[in-house]
A and B are shown apart, each in its own frame.
Chain A
Amino acid sequence: MTGATTNENTANLLADAEQGSSLWQDAWQRLKKNRMAVGGGAVLLFFVVVALLTPWLAPYAYETQNLDLGASPPSADHWLGTDVFGRDVLTQIMYGGRVSLAVGFIATAVALLIGVTWGAVAGYVGGRVDAVMMRMVDILYALPFMIFIVLLMVVFGRNVLLLFLAIGAVEWLTMARIMRAQVQSLRQQEFVEAAISLGLSPAAIIRRHVIPNALGPIIVYTTLTIPSVMLLEAFLSFLGLGIQPPQTSWGLLISYGAETMEEYPWLLIFPGLALTTTLFSLNFLGDGLRDALDVRGSKD
């Protein structure tokens, strides 16, 4: 091993070598074969794009009312009908979707950030730090958060920012547990021990060896957290404890629709359809990712 053998012809070492197929590429191939997951992803993408472009795409302005028209069934002018104030339902759903999706993605991002950091630190440091950090998670886990969020919304009023924080605060716990379990099991893997014996710093080990391998379950769980967050938002809004007028969300639209469904069923059915379709897409995508990334025993 003494003396580099640079005189040998190694210039094309990488170019001559056959390209291997990484686990990510394999997973991507598996995912592509799963029609439900691909469909879910496509529908989701469509909804997200529509939500981003709503101010330009919506057929009517958000505030436009037509009290003369009142509630009308779907027609050429109003594809999904109008509500009692003569507002276009499609426009309402598009603007409501912006809020619902935003809550889903932002609150999940909050949960992801806190949970992954917390779990990674606890799992990697181990020992007493781990015991204390996870005991805190255990205690918080046992708290009936659903009731707490209702309480928070009652006490501090219906504030969207608070809603993000409150929902994120619930969901990070599971994220932390998953991340910690990942890190702990990875830490005992021989390739991490090998990295330690090579003399890599802890930061480098986490970056190069732990995170890439823990990513799969995190991606899957994130995908499955978004729909449960959206459900939570819709649930609160339905009770009148979430999003407040003049803002709207799918949960709020469903709540209004349920009040008048006897006379104007389209006011319930179309927002309901929007919400369920999104939840379906996210769940199919999540299940597909779980199969493709071969993640076992995640949330349900």
Chain B
Amino acid sequence: MSLLSVNNLEVSFVTRNGTQKAVKGVSFEVQEKQITAIIGESGSGKSVSCYALLGLIPSPPGRIDGGSAEFGGRDLLTLSENELREIRGRDIAMIFQDPMTCLNPFLTIGEQLIEPLRLHRGMARDAARQRAIELLDEVGIRSPETTFDSFPHEFSGGMRQRVMIAMALINEPRLLIADEPTTALDVTIQAQILRLIADLQKNRDIGVLFISHDLAVVADIADQIVVMEQGEVVEAGSPDTIFKNAQHPYTRKLLAAIPSGERANATAQRDVLIEVDQLRTWFPGSGQDEPVKAVDGVSFNINRGEVLGLVGESGSGKSTLGRSIMRLAAITEGSVVFDGTDVTALEGRDLKDFRRRMQMIFQDPFASLNPRMTVYDTLAEPLLLHGICDRKNLDGHIAKLMDDVGLARGFIRKYPHEFSGGQRQRIAIGRALATQPEFIVADEPVSALDVTIQAQILDLLLALGEEHQLTMLFVSHDMAVIRRIADRVLVMYRGKIVEAGTVSQVFDQPSETYTQSLLASIPGAALAG
């Protein structure tokens, strides 16, 4: 039986620059006691559709132009604000993407938890407290009594998301809308939260509408999958049909973008380009506190021409390690020998020459380009600085770089804010390649991008790597991406390297329990199996 039935929903945003249609006649159903997943990239209208149902899009600029949404015999879109408010938090509850910002930092967790109970059921404070503590226990919070009286900032993201889930379920809603609930979490936490949502759904027989950009994440838990692109539903069906028999080209593109397989082992040269020995990077703690040992005694080699994957969760120190090698973070102890030279001691002119030979690609394509410089200026800066070319043949070099990274030359006078995330990352790659480096540190270069774009950028990096015989340290939290691109893998945990080996060694026969748990957390087991 269908719990929620959305028909021909149309939503647009009215701004000073005109009306933009965000949702164009979307229809889908959520069956009772099932998990329906809506899949789409940013801008596909997947979140807007769901928020619009509950009257949660800000209006203006948001405007619902038409359609219906049948829920419990009523059309949600025709309800008044007061009637909708009664449904929100009682019959339909929501959890959101970023647990760090979704709980009110000024109120205790308990106060926020019992709000729906007191509001919708008029429950007495003590009874509500009892109920909340039971539920905190159910979602896996270890000491629910003390948690009840704590403030959100005392908890990690995963814990806060559990609190959010408890808060959503406290009134035993019939429908739970989960908007990218695991996207902001580390992969092992993500696996736990996914399992929790799936278990709760089964035990409580509620319908779940699960919004995600990641097909692999929903593969394991969804009963129905709805694929959206640019405000329209392009395909819907069971996971089986979607994964094995996708009809729409966009769905196929999404599927193809899931990083899979391993790199056909390139002809990695045997000689060592970089030797990292007992590297320590500590940050001073505040006041009397212990220093933060971001990187704590790490040794490894990078061979010429190989792609070395560095994998770890947030806080493992993997980015700091990359930045230490680049001399962007101050090294506390140890050495980094690059082609026979210890770079930790370099200064001035020598450091500048060394910097030409190694470059970095950053995570956030919105922050890694100077917003006040055109593409031309951005690319010209390294070329002129290191005398790669003179002003006379500058244009030729820049044109070549644009071609290399797959950007139209007509964009050369545009500014970063006029590009999409993927295009910006191409510019950043172009800037890194401009100095004709031998070594590149790529720090999560694709994790801020949509999946289809992610695949393009990975392919681009691989192709450029081979063409220019680049050595690469590829830092990522995403095991699938690492597997796709790396020759060898280092696993980092709390500032130390816990496992190292070739891709097949680490992925097929992990020796450390931490690596095993990381591997077990990779979403999409159903996909692979």
A and B touch in the complex (CB under 8 A): yes
Flag if A198 contacts B385 (CB, 8 Å).
Answer: yes
Flag if B352 contacts A1 (CB, 8 Å).
Answer: no
Given A20-B374, A191-B367, A200-B385: A11 touches B415 (CB 8 Å cut-off): no
- Stretch from B32-40, B171-179, B393-401, B514-522 forming part of the interface with A: B393-401
Flag if B362 contacts A5 (CB, 8 Å).
Answer: no
Flag if B386 contacts A199 (CB, 8 Å).
Answer: yes
Flag if A4 contacts B397 (CB, 8 Å).
Answer: yes
Flag if B360 contacts A17 (CB, 8 Å).
Answer: no
Given A4-B396, A8-B396: A16 touches B410 (CB 8 Å cut-off): yes
Docked CA distance A22–B374 (Å): 8
Q: Mark A1-38, 1 if CB is under 8 A from B, else 0.
A: 11011101011011011111111100000000000000
Q: Interface residue count for A (Cβ, 8 Å)?
A: 34
Q: Mark A168-197, 1 if CB is under 8 A from B, else 0.
A: 000000000000000000000111011111
Q: Contacting B328 at CB < 8 Å: which of A2, A6, A22, A196?
A: A196
Contacts of A213 in B (CB 8 A): 370-372
Q: Could you say which of B360, B368, B413, B435 has the most chain A C-beta atoms within 10 Å of its C-beta?
A: B413
Chain A to chain B contacts (Cβ below 8 Å), 16 pairs? A1-B404, A4-B393, A5-B396, A6-B393, A8-B399, A13-B399, A14-B413, A17-B412, A189-B367, A190-B363, A191-B368, A197-B355, A198-B381, A199-B356, A199-B386, A208-B370
Flag if A17 contacts B409 (CB, 8 Å).
Answer: yes
B142 within 8 A of partner (CB): no
Closest Cβ of chain B: how far from A34's Cβ, in Å? 12
B251 within 8 A of partner (CB): no
Which residues in chain B, 392-428, are within 8 Å of chain A measured between CB atoms?
393, 395-400, 404, 409-415, 417-418, 428
Contacts of A10 in B (CB 8 A): 395-396, 398-399
B501 within 8 A of partner (CB): no
Docked CA distance A168–B445 (Å): 46
A212 within 8 A of partner (CB): yes
Closest Cβ of chain B: how far from A92's Cβ, in Å? 45
Q: Mark B364-389, 1 if CB is under 8 A from A, else 0.
A: 10011111111110000110011001
Flag if B396 contacts A17 (CB, 8 Å).
Answer: no
Flag if A18 contacts B372 (CB, 8 Å).
Answer: no
Docked CA distance A13–B412 (Å): 8
A78 within 8 A of partner (CB): no
Contacts of A212 in B (CB 8 A): 370, 372
Which residues in chain B, 323-352, are within 8 Å of chain A measured between CB atoms?
323, 326-328, 351-352
Which residues in chain A, 120-154, are within 8 Å of chain B measured between CB atoms?
none
Flag if A199 contacts B396 (CB, 8 Å).
Answer: no
Residue of A nearest to B417 (CB): A23
Flag if B411 contacts A18 (CB, 8 Å).
Answer: yes
Q: Mark A269-289, 1 if CB is under 8 A from B, else 0.
A: 000000000000000000000
Docked CA distance A213–B369 (Å): 12
Closest Cβ of chain A: how far from B322's Cβ, in Å? 11
Residue of B nearest to A197 (CB): B360
Residue of A nearest to B361 (CB): A194
Residue of A nearest to B381 (CB): A198
B391 within 8 A of partner (CB): no
Q: Contacting B352 at CB < 8 Å: which of A5, A193, A194, A199?
A: A199
Docked CA distance A6–B393 (Å): 6
Q: Contacting A14 at CB < 8 Å: which of B327, B393, B395?
A: B395
Flag if A5 contacts B400 (CB, 8 Å).
Answer: yes
Docked CA distance A209–B416 (Å): 14
Flag if A18 contacts B414 (CB, 8 Å).
Answer: yes
A residues near B (Cβ < 8 Å) are: 1-2, 4-6, 8, 10-11, 13-14, 16-24, 189-191, 193-200, 208-209, 212-213
Residue of B nearest to A11 (CB): B395
B468 within 8 A of partner (CB): yes
Closest Cβ of chain A: how far from B67's Cβ, in Å? 34
Docked CA distance A196–B385 (Å): 12
Contacts of A8 in B (CB 8 A): 396, 399-400
Flag if B409 contacts A13 (CB, 8 Å).
Answer: yes
Given contacts A20-B375, A198-B355, A199-B386, 12 further A-B pairs with CB under 8 A are A6-B393, A13-B395, A13-B412, A17-B414, A18-B413, A190-B364, A193-B368, A194-B360, A198-B431, A199-B351, A208-B373, A213-B372
Given A197-B360, A199-B385: A16 touches B409 (CB 8 Å cut-off): yes
Given A14-B395, A199-B351: A22 touches B428 (CB 8 Å cut-off): no
Contacts of B468 in A (CB 8 A): 1
Contacts of A6 in B (CB 8 A): 393, 396
Flag if B415 contacts A21 (CB, 8 Å).
Answer: yes
Size band of the interface chain B makes with A = 35 or more
Docked CA distance A195–B395 (Å): 21
Contacts of A196 in B (CB 8 A): 328
Flag if B386 contacts A19 (CB, 8 Å).
Answer: no
The 9 closest A-B pairs by CB, nearest first: A20-B414, A199-B355, A190-B368, A199-B352, A190-B362, A6-B396, A17-B412, A13-B395, A10-B399
Given A11-B395, A19-B413: A193 touches B362 (CB 8 Å cut-off): yes
Q: Mark B426-446, 1 if CB is under 8 A from A, else 0.
A: 001001010110000000000
Closest Cβ of chain A: how far from B188's Cβ, in Å? 26
Contacts of A190 in B (CB 8 A): 362-364, 367-368
Which residues in chain B, 203-236, are within 8 Å of chain A measured between CB atoms?
none
Docked CA distance A212–B415 (Å): 14
Docked CA distance A11–B412 (Å): 13
Contacts of A209 in B (CB 8 A): 370
B320 within 8 A of partner (CB): no
Flag if A4 contacts B371 (CB, 8 Å).
Answer: no
Flag if B400 contacts A20 (CB, 8 Å).
Answer: no
B31 within 8 A of partner (CB): no
Closest Cβ of chain A: how far from B325's Cβ, in Å? 11
Residue of B nearest to A201 (CB): B352
B316 within 8 A of partner (CB): no
Q: Contacting A23 at CB < 8 Å: which of B355, B371, B411, B412?
A: B371
Docked CA distance A38–B326 (Å): 48
Closest Cβ of chain A: how far from B439's Cβ, in Å? 11
Q: Could you say which of A8, A197, A208, A209 has the most chain B C-beta atoms within 10 Å of its C-beta?
A: A197
Docked CA distance A19–B374 (Å): 10
Docked CA distance A275–B372 (Å): 37
Docked CA distance A242–B201 (Å): 74
Closest Cβ of chain A: how far from B368's Cβ, in Å? 4
Residue of A nearest to B431 (CB): A194
B359 within 8 A of partner (CB): yes
Contacts of B417 in A (CB 8 A): 23
Closest Cβ of chain A: how far from B437's Cβ, in Å? 10
Given A13-B398, A17-B413, A23-B415: A1 touches B351 (CB 8 Å cut-off): no
Closest Cβ of chain B: how far from A71's Cβ, in Å? 52
Contacts of B393 in A (CB 8 A): 4, 6
Contacts of A18 in B (CB 8 A): 410-411, 413-414
Flag if A1 contacts B436 (CB, 8 Å).
Answer: yes
Flag if B364 contacts A208 (CB, 8 Å).
Answer: no
Closest Cβ of chain B: how far from A90's Cβ, in Å? 42
Contacts of A194 in B (CB 8 A): 360, 362, 368-369, 428, 431
Q: Contacting B326 at CB < 8 Å: which of A13, A14, A197?
A: A197
Closest Cβ of chain A: how far from B154's Cβ, in Å? 26
Docked CA distance A20–B453 (Å): 23
Q: Contacting B410 at CB < 8 Å: which of A5, A17, A191?
A: A17
Q: Contacting A200 at CB < 8 Å: which of B381, B395, B418?
A: B381
